[in-house]
């Protein structure tokens, strides 16, 4: 299992070793020792979510108040999605930067994003199934979003599916109504980099 830190500090791409034969395949989807070595602390698993999305469905960009925030270990067990992590931490050296990882049922990669980062994905196939291991449970009063098509963020969402057919973005009503990054900043919704760093640093003592 290999961890590669992304362009957004606090997020990693995880590539497992997939062992395959005529029967199918086997892999270790999560392992605590290499996770702790890469991230610096264990994952305090509090909730596991599963979403199933048609091609073109765009979910995000979501984030939660810190503390406690919501770190996520995300993988696609069926189909394919383009996963996106956005640095929304006010005062971060990479504020506004984003990075992507293709998650699918071939390479079986995962991503881990620590507390205070924004997360979203676009489904590239019908019935793409995403599993999220979360460090905190769902708490609607602490959860927020940024419009995924905000041109100031400029995420380069895919325009075709894996077969080359055009994709039309399909957003939920909640995501469609989400503020831009600038509006979220003005409204005081975004986490502060120094506060996030202090909170995450304390997790290593857990």
Q: Which residue has the tokens 């997939």?
A: 18
From the candidates 62, 119, 144, 147, give the one annotated as an active-site residue: 62
Which of 159, 79, 73 is CA-nearest to residue 119?
Answer: 73
Sheet holding 72-78, edge to edge: 2-5, 11-15, 110-113, 72-78, 128-134, 47-53
> What burial class does residue 32 get, using C-beta atoms within 10 Å of its C-beta: 0-12 exposed, 13-18 middle, 19+ buried?
exposed
Q: Which residues contact 162 (CB under 8 A, 6 or more apart)?
A: 80, 124, 125
What the block records as the tokens of 4 is: 């590669």
The answer to whether the beta carbons of residues 120 and 61 sit under 8 Å apart is yes
Choose among 10, 133, 13: nearest CA to 66: 10
Virtual torsion, Cα 51, 55, 57, 58, nearest 10 deg? 100
> Is 147 among the residues known to form the active site?
no
Is residue 41 annotated as a catalytic residue, yes or no?
A: no
Which one of 41, 132, 170, 199 is the catalytic residue? 132
Task: Write out the catalytic residue numbers.
Answer: 62, 132
């Amino acid at each position: 299992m290999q961890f590669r830190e992304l362009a957004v500090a606090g997020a990693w791409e995880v590539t497992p070793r997939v062992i395959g034969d005529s029967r199918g395949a086997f892999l270790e989807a999560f392992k605590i020792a290499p996770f702790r070595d890469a991230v610096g602390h264990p994952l305090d698993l509090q909730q596991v979510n599963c979403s199933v999305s048609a091609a073109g469905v765009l979910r995000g960009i979501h984030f939660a108040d810190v503390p406690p925030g919501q770190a996520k270990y995300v993988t696609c067990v069926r189909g394919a999605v383009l996963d996106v992590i956005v640095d929304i931490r006010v005062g971060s050296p990479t504020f506004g930067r984003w990075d992507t990882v293709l998650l699918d049922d071939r390479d079986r990669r995962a991503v881990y994003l620590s507390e205070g980062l924004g997360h979203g994905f676009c489904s590239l196939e019908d019935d793409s199934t995403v599993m999220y291991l979360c460090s905190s449970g769902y708490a609607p009063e602490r959860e927020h979003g940024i419009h995924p098509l905000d041109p100031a963020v400029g995420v380069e969402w895919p325009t075709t599916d894996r077969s080359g057919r055009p994709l039309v973005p399909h957003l939920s009503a909640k995501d469609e109504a989400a503020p831009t990054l600038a509006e979220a900043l003005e409204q005081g919704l975004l986490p502060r980099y120094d506060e996030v760093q202090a909170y995450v640093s304390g997790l290593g003592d857990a």
